[in-house]
Amino acid sequence: MNMSSRKRIVAANWKMNLTVGESELLATEMRSVLTTMPRHCEVVLAPSFPALERLVKAVAGLDSVQIAAQDCAPAIRGAHTGEVSSLVLSELGVQKVIIGHSERRINNKEDHLTLKKKVDVALETGLDIIFCCGETTQQRKEGIHMQIIEQQLKDSLLHLTDTQLASVAIAYEPVWAIGTGLTPTSEQIEEMHGYLRALLNRTSAKVGPTLSLLYGGSCNASNAASIFALENVDGGLIGGASLKADEFMRILNSLPQ
Ligand code: 13P
């Protein structure tokens, strides 16, 4: 499969770092670059829930920009106090949702079954998914990182039909690289992305080769170009370095043309 058939995606996960006003201001500051992104690149901004509606408005008319939620509930409706349904996200004009981020797996004890339910309801309500996977330091030390990643995908994602799978991008985010300033070597990133690509190709010979694989974890303006140049890396999921317009814009400009 030709590289150019895979969509390049750079997603900003703002986590819980910005107020609604700050989120809106940041999107506005980025508008100049966002208006000129080439068609094969997709930029995704993921603010916290209360900022979503204003962000949808802030990027209206920018074809290659999408707004994502950082999470959704594992059910569409019901007695789930404090949860946010993907149906409501869809209603607001949100197009994507991040599912399986390690901060939620660890801090909120989200297990594989919960993540599988989130994947199913997100797709049922018309959202695309950025599905995160990643191993801990200990798991890498033990040399079981490949198995861990494969299991995370098998448990929550690979039950999907081809049509459903086509709405998913996968972000490999080693837990030990998130917010630490530590990045895996290029060889380690490509090894994992190549492994993921082979797994997806085995799962679906039709859709596997077309899925976008993102890297996340201390990706910044200095290392983005070398990471994005790797054969099986189609973009990034960026945390800290997406909080400043000029740095995030430099990351966007690091995408191969
Ligand atoms: P950092 O870029 O801050 O390491 O965060 C990565 C991340 O968790 C994105 O989802």
For 66-115, the pLDDT digits (tens) are 999 999 999 999 999 999 999 999 999 999 999 999 999 999 999 999 99
In the structure, what pLDDT confidence band is assigned to residue 34 with cuts at 50, 70 and 90?
Answer: confident
Establish whether residue 217 lines the binding site of ligand 1, counting it when its CB lies within 6 angstroms of any ligand atom: yes
In the structure, what pLDDT confidence band is assigned to residue 257 with cuts at 50, 70 and 90?
Answer: confident
Both tokens assigned to 93: 């004009």
Both tokens assigned to 172: 């490999």
Both tokens assigned to 237: 């999921």
In the structure, what pLDDT confidence band is assigned to residue 1 with cuts at 50, 70 and 90?
Answer: very low
3 class by beta-carbon count within 10 Å (0-12 exposed, 13-18 middle, 19+ buried) = exposed
Is the CA virtual torsion 178, 180, 181, 183 positive or negative? Answer: negative
Question: Residue holding tokens 């909120």?
Answer: 108
Establish whether residue 179 lines the binding site of ligand 1, counting it when its CB lies within 6 angstroms of any ligand atom: yes
- Catalytic: 101? yes
What's the total number of domains in the chain? 1
Establish whether residue 216 lines the binding site of ligand 1, counting it when its CB lies within 6 angstroms of any ligand atom: yes
Torsion angle of the four alpha carbons 231, 119, 116, 112, in this order, in degrees rounded to the nearest 10: 60
- Catalytic: 173? yes
- Would you say residue 178 lies in a domain? yes
- Would you say residue 205 lies in a domain? yes
- Would you say residue 7 lies in a domain? yes
Whole-number pLDDT of residue 39: 66
Domain boundaries, position 111? 3-252
User: From the alpha carbon of 178, which atom of ligand 1 is closest?
Assistant: 4
Distance in Å, CA 46 to ligand 1 centroid: 12
CATH number of the domain bearing residue 195: 3.20.20.70
Is the CA virtual torsion 81, 109, 168, 253 positive or negative? Answer: positive
Rg (C-alpha) for the chain, rounded Å, is 17
Question: Does the model's pTM come out above 0.95?
Answer: yes
- Would you say residue 36 lies in a domain? yes
Cα separation, 103 vs 32, in Å, equals: 31
Three-point CA angle 11, 106, 122, nearest 5°:
50
- Would you say residue 257 lies in a domain? no
Establish whether residue 238 lines the binding site of ligand 1, counting it when its CB lies within 6 angstroms of any ligand atom: yes
